[in-house]
Structure 1
Amino acid sequence: MAGVPDRNYLLSVFQKVDKDRSGAIDALELQTALSNGNWTPFNPDTVRLMIGMFDKANKNVITFEDFIHLWKYVTDWQQVFRSFDRDNSNNINKEELKTCLTTFGYRFSEPFFDVLMQKFDRTRKGVIYFDDFIQCCIVLQTMTAAFKELDEGKTGIATVSYEQFMMATTKIF
């Protein structure tokens, strides 16, 4: 789906998942609209992260206008995911994740890629599914932005107090 999807189609999807007809959808309702491509429900933590990103009113729900932007965000990530899922397995293994994140400009050690796999491989099968891939990328982007704020000299090294560290990391979750 290149570009912006048909507004009428998105409205029909939105209305289908807006079970209580409130004009806004919460995380549980949104979860029913999203697909992993492997018949499993979308990770609730990923759904909550995305609601937080697109909820302009800060009410833990998104309106139809927010939903349009979120849908585009998800489809853009889907294209990225598919481009790095070299074997078309509907998941990303460690090597594919390394290729992806290196392409994004991250320079992580082998042990850190192991940590990422441990954190985002919910099935413990050595692979990351689409929803967890989105979560991984959101967490990395958020942590990177928080670090850059603390790295005043732009040297890749930051000296922070415990409270500064806690403030920076609590923005992620």
Structure 2
Amino acid sequence: MYNNPQSAGGPPQHRSKGQPQVPPPGADLQLWGWFKAVDTDSSGVLTVDELQRALINGDWSPFNIETVRTMVNMFDSDNTGTIDFQEFTGLWKYIEDWKRCFQAFDLDGSGSIDRNEMTNALRSFGYNVSGQFVNTLIQKFDRFGHGNVTFDNFVQACVTVKTLTDSFRTFDTDNDGWIQINYGQFLDLVMRQHA
């Protein structure tokens, strides 16, 4: 599901900021090699653009830039807007976990998730969603207009549903599936989702 940077000639042998680029103690050497290959400017961190160039879907299309931004924001623990090797290690595990999840729900092995597969995935995650909602979700995240979503957009869709659900639950204090919010709370909720 991702581009293996080593297959493109292996990691470059660069020095960054006068420091030798050696793996941290105990680092996975293959993952370190991938990190260094993706770090095209040898800065020791990955930008959103560098990370996007390294991630591809099963159909060889690049990851949606919004999905990459979401992932960087999730794993950028020091709020630099970039991913260092330690953060990249966590991000890589996260992607691997999602890849296994995606493959489990891609029952026909097509490399994409259709409406039925998305419904099964969301329900297995505990989201009781309507067919209309799944249609809306597929429409929003279907980049190519084929009625399905690629791996990156599956991750983005699922993360979006989780984020929205978590936000809803902050207002659903009695867990009855209903909330009442005022206009200011609604605007705040929407702005937090689009920040």
Instruction: Output the TM-score relative to the length of structure 2.
Output: 0.83
User: How far apart in 1 are the matches of 2:30 and 2:162?
Assistant: 30
Per-residue deviation, residues 67-121 of structure 1 (Å, max 9, x unmatched): 0000000010000000000111100110111111111111111111110111111
1:132 counterpart = 2:153: yes
User: Given the alignment, which residue of 24, 36, 49 partners 2:45?
Assistant: 24
Check whether the contact 1:146–1:169 (CA below 8 A) recurs between aligned residues.
no
Q: CA deviation at 1:161?
A: 1.4
The alignment-based identity, stated in percent, is 40
Task: Please say if 1:107 is aligned against 2:128.
Answer: yes
The gaps in structure 2 that reach 5 residues or longer are 1-26
Alignment of 1:1-173 (within 5 A): 7-173=28-194
Task: Give the letter aligned to residue 93 of structure 1.
Answer: D
Give the conservation status (yes or no) of the 8 Å contact 1:143–1:169. Answer: no
Q: Which has the larger radius of gyration?
A: 2
Count of matched residue positions in the alignment of Structure 1 and Structure 2: 168
Q: TM-score, normalised by structure 1?
A: 0.93
> Cα distance, 1:35 vs. partner?
2.1
Cα distance in 1 for residues equivalent to 2:150 and 2:119: 15
Q: Which runs of 4+ in 1 moved over 6 A?
A: none
CA shift for structure 1 position 20: 1.3
More helix by percentage: 1
Runs of 5+ in structure 1 lacking a partner?
1-5
Q: C-alpha root-mean-square deviation of aligned residues, in Å?
A: 1.1
